[in-house]
Amino acid sequence: MGRIMCFDYGSKRIGVAVTDELRIISSPLATCPSNEIFDFITTYLIDHVVNKFIVGMPIDMRGKNTHATNPTKDFINKLKKKYSHISIDTYDERLTSRIAKDAILLMGKNKKYRRNKSNIDKISASIILQSYLKRNEL
């Protein structure tokens, strides 16, 4: 069984998380500059089998699109074109940045680590993926 890779898309940075091979747990993998993400994915796929992508879908608290929804959809379309052999699903990413910030605080990380937005991005991707796994095991 292949891994699942998850993306927390942003115009500057993309947080990336992956599952283990058994798809039991999600782990933060990296934060990549948006313009380098496809090189990152291609390199990762050389050594790992991934057969599903999850992309966090930005929607507001009322379930409506945000300013980030269309750029995220554009990213999904590029993923579909470049990696047509890998299925793609979306997942609600509401509040994941807030949850990630709280998780970093609970981990006892220092202020410098907490202020680094790339840490929040990759942990957000991991939270999105873990939520997806939990919801889909039912």
Residue length, the chain? 138
Rg for the chain (alpha carbons), in Å? 14
Domain that includes residue 83, residue range: 3-136
Strand, coil or helix: 48:
coil
Q: Within 13 Å of residue 111, how many CA atoms lie on the same side as its CB? A: 0
Q: How many domains does the chain have?
A: 1
Assess whether pLDDT exceeds 60 at residue 50: yes
For residues 113 and 2, give the distance between their C-alpha atoms in angstroms, rounded to a whole number: 31
pLDDT of residue 83: 97
5-15 as b/e: b if 16+ CB within 10 A? bbbbbbeebbb
List the CATH number of the domain containing 30.
Answer: 3.30.420.140
For residues 108 and 39, give the distance between their C-alpha atoms in angstroms, rounded to a whole number: 33
Mean pLDDT across the chain, nearest whole number?
A: 86
pTM as predicted: 0.85
Region of 113 please: left (phi>0), alpha (psi -120 to 50) or beta: alpha
Sign of the torsion angle spanned by Cα atoms 84, 42, 68, 125: positive
Percent of the chain with pLDDT strictly greater than 90 = 57
Give mean pLDDT, residues 87-112: 71
User: pLDDT digit string (tens) for 60-69?
Assistant: 778 777 777 8
